[in-house]
Amino acid sequence: MGELSVRRNTAGVLPALVAKAGKGGARRFLEFFTVNIRNRNTRAAYARAAAVFLRWCEGQGITRLQDVQPVHVAAYIEQLAREMSPPSVKQHLACIRMLFDWLVTGQVMPSNPAHSVRGPRHSVSKGVTPVLSSEEATALLAGMDVSSVVGLRDRAIIAVMTYTFARVGAVVALTVEDYYAQKKRWWLRLREKNGKVNEMPCHHKLEAYLDAYIEAAGIEDDRKGPLFRPAIGKTKKLGQGAISRTDVWYMVRRRAADAGIETAIGCHTFRATGITDYLTNGGRIEVAQRMAGHSNAKTTGLYDRRNDDVSVGEVERIGI
């Protein structure tokens, strides 16, 4: 990054404390996000967290980065704990620690003021992602209006998230050639978080949904092109490029409302729904872990919502 670019960012974008750290400090700060963090979503979340913290420091009368002390970080985290959930607070603290570590190794800071600050304790045994029952998910897919290519696309997107446990980021990144034949079956090549490539055989229903969509979209020969493409307004036709994660979220909410589903579901709902249904039907947790691309089976267990129905059943025993 050239000096002009750094100077422009320093003057118009960077927090005041960073701008006062000089060109070296400004460059090191920018490199934390552009060089050190590869995941786009993490980069965006950490950029927001860092900006909020540095503005808070300015409000406390701190005029130099070097003046930030552990007591300041601790006070900030304590304030956040009154306003945010523990996972959000832990994410903010992780950002601050990593940022100051980066500044220390770049000789911008003498030490890391966040190193000794402890975050809130947080332990969960069950995830909070809303899930659908197997019957609800089946009804959603079966009842979707697929008279247009957009309807076929929407059904295929939801089916991919359900049958492969894929994150929405991996789904929108699919290209046509990521759907391929191997060993007399069709497979999907999904690019998940942290550079993981997850190759999955397709469920027979997923194959049917993808085949119907690809044929209607006429994209079979565009092997390098995106698999799922955005709609052009309300024309029920597809445009160029790849559909965005945001558009998928709006589509999911719209399709759920059309199906009469009252649960406030999102894209991750289908990941949790698929894992739960797989385990309900005798699947093994270690296989679900591999399919979901989780590093730890405990993480996969957070998506296992088989006991939700048991809890509801037990509540109904109350005879008041």
Please name which of 126, 165, 129, 163 lies closest in space to residue 307, comparing C-alpha atoms. 126
The pair of three-digit structure tokens given for residue 179, joined into one six-digit string: 């759907």
For the purposes of burial, counting CB atoms within 10 Å of the CB of 51, is it exposed (0-12), middle (13-18) or buried (19 or more)?
middle
The pair of three-digit structure tokens given for residue 315, joined into one six-digit string: 């509540």
Q: Is-contact 149 236, C-beta < 8 A?
A: yes
Paired residues of 189 in beta bridges: 199
In tens, the pLDDT along 208-242 reads: 999 999 999 999 999 999 999 999 998 999 999 99
Show Cβ contacts of residue 64 under 8 Å, excluding neighbours closer than 6 positions: 17, 20, 21
CA dist., res. 129 & res. 301, Å (int): 12
Q: Is-contact 102 94, C-beta < 8 A?
A: no
In tens, the pLDDT along 240-277 reads: 999 999 999 999 999 999 999 988 899 999 999 999 89
CA dist., res. 81 & res. 90, Å (int): 9
- pTM for the model stands at 0.69
Which residue positions in the chain have pLDDT lower than 50? 1-12, 125
Q: Is-contact 25 37, C-beta < 8 A?
A: no
Burial 182-214 (b: 16+ CB within 10 A, else e): eeeebbbbbbbeeeeebebebbeebbebbbbbb
Burial 247-280 (b: 16+ CB within 10 A, else e): ebeebbeebbeebebeeebbbbbbbbbbbbbbbe
What's the maximum distance between 2 C-alpha atoms anywhere in the chain? 73
Q: What is the CA radius of gyration of the chain?
A: 24
Show Cβ contacts of residue 164 under 8 Å, excluding neighbours closer than 6 positions: 188, 190, 198, 200, 202, 206, 274, 291
